[in-house]
Amino acid sequence: MIALQTTINAIAIHRTGDSPIFGDSTTIVRLDDEGGGPFIVIEQATNEQPGVFKLDPDELTIVMRTARRLLRQESIEREAGND
């Protein structure tokens, strides 16, 4: 039997009632890796100004907590050599 595990690659942060996929309030925090180790990417579904992210203080706190949560996963820490 092959050993399997799960890893969360992205988390959507959004207002209650908004779509987590394309809602106006949706911010996606996701993992990426281009060969140098994992890093965080932050995207907003409706971003009129590419490269600009608008986060209020409460939202920033949640985004930071979410980023840490993604990076603390056992499979990510192992990949980054942080055992």
User: How many C-alpha atoms does 70 have within 13 Å on its Cβ side?
Assistant: 22
CA distances from 5 to 31, 56, 68, 73, 75 (A): 17, 35, 19, 11, 8
Q: Is 66 exposed, middle or buried (0-12, 13-18, 19+ CB in 10 A)?
A: buried
Map out the domains of the chain as residue ranges: 10-80
Q: Rounded mean pLDDT of the chain?
A: 87
Six-digit token string for 54:
């608008």
pTM for the whole structure: 0.81
Tens digit of each residue's pLDDT (9 = 90 or more) over 34-65: 988 899 999 987 667 667 788 889 999 999 99
